[in-house]
Structure 1
């Protein structure tokens, strides 16, 4: 079994951890329930990082001392448990089919305050499993025992499971891999969730290039990450003015000039009047 990275277990990038803490804070503003808050994570297409974000978001909630449960609803390709290197015999699919009770399947305290309801891989009849009322009954029975329940779901372009389950949760977070998804695909995902009357909390952009080669609003976040990197490496934070006066190599000057011209083109500010 390949163990995926759990950032809240001493394994990770501090600047990414700070971004996850910001996500945790923003989601808490959107839903202030102290018991039984249910959040569904999905993506538009595969490999955008929704399992990584959902598992580490759940771990971030647990790190505050609040009880969290991570449910792997991506039965066609279950990955959520890999962040914690755990083994199990039965999963969510067996609970829905009535073969075992949910209490017998939940993995307790994989890290302090975090439980996991894993899934085994199956391919046939998955949508039909989630079309029944059984999953709603399972969530209702678990809600009183957790502050936050996180559902890791398959990509919307691959399966309709996320759309079906969106009616059982408080809100939906769509993970978008930077420069991986076309506008039409994003519009399709939003339309599908909209048809289900899902409460979309927002879209989280993942895999943003931290080198600063992205444009528009993302540039702010690139600077944000670079500040955190410098802060954690040497204990100092350079001001934006110090960044501007930092001596650049010829290549960096070329990239800077290219970015400046590109920004003018995409904003229509060809005379440089906008700041």
Structure 2
């Protein structure tokens, strides 16, 4: 266990569950759960406006936070261009989402256990030539519907909104979206443009994660803002 966790340094919810950042992820989880009274938020997409804003780190930590609350969780790496989940959890990426969507494997073969109780991972699989087509396919819709029957919570990590259309497509198949914004890196108009892309497909914005805010000059921190 300790050897595996040593390779999961970015998953602070596992390595340091008592830290302020881990508490922030628990607060994020709680806010998502209470964001809807009338309908269940089960499939949650995590994206960002641009690259290197920390969306994959947020996805992994949010998934782990749900798993630690005794929910049966699946993290899907739907970034079929720059996947990271297989590295984060030190898993094989021979088969994954792309293999499943191209009907090379069944769902069972595309899902792997992580070293975290209650948390399963569907890696990206081999990078395909047509990621957006795959995301828009009826097969992707059917896969999500099937997975809804198997898991309490499904977290989907997608590419940045302004880079490609993949995230917009997946947003339309999800119950809600979390957008990660890197503090001091992304200009306000860029973030607004990214949100407008989500609005166009009728996506439900659950909230924004403002990442890399400095609480002290020497200390990195995550700050979360929630809202519709």
Pairwise TM-score range, normalised by the shorter structure: 0.7 to 0.9
CA contact (8 A) 1:41 1:173 kept: yes
User: Is residue 2:184 matched to residue 1:179?
Assistant: yes
Separation (CA, whole Å) in 1 of partners of 2:206 and 2:16: 28
Aligned residue for 1:120, secondary structure, equals coil
User: Is residue 2:103 matched to residue 1:104?
Assistant: no
**Distance change in 2, residues 1:33/1:95 (3 Å):** farther
Match of 1:272 in 2: none
TM-score (norm 1): 0.72
Separation (CA, whole Å) in 1 of partners of 2:150 and 2:37: 16
Residues 7-57 of structure 1: CA deviation (Å, up to 9, x unaligned): 233356711101111101111111468977000000000000000001110
Aligned residue for 2:51, secondary structure, equals coil
User: Is residue 2:100 matched to residue 1:95?
Assistant: yes
Structure whose residues are more often helix by fraction: 1
Separation (CA, whole Å) in 2 of partners of 1:42 and 1:92: 17
Separation (CA, whole Å) in 2 of partners of 1:94 and 1:127: 15
Match of 2:211 in 1: 206
* Aligned residue pairs, count: 214
Separation (CA, whole Å) in 2 of partners of 1:84 and 1:33: 34
User: Is residue 2:156 matched to residue 1:151?
Assistant: yes
**Distance change in 2, residues 1:209/1:159 (3 Å):** same
CA contact (8 A) 1:72 1:80 kept: yes
Separation (CA, whole Å) in 2 of partners of 1:149 and 1:30: 16
**Equivalent residue runs for 1:252-267 within 5 Å:** none
**Distance change in 2, residues 1:139/1:174 (3 Å):** same
Q: Which moved more, 1:84-93 or 1:130-139?
A: 84-93
* Structure with larger Rg: 1
Unpaired runs of 5+ residues, structure 1, are 214-220, 223-275
TM-score (norm 2): 0.87
- Cα deviation for residue 83 of structure 1 reads 2.5
Following superposition, which runs of at least 4 residues in structure 1 exceed 4 angstroms of deviation? 32-36
Unpaired runs of 5+ residues, structure 2, are 1-6
- Cα root mean square deviation, aligned: 2.3
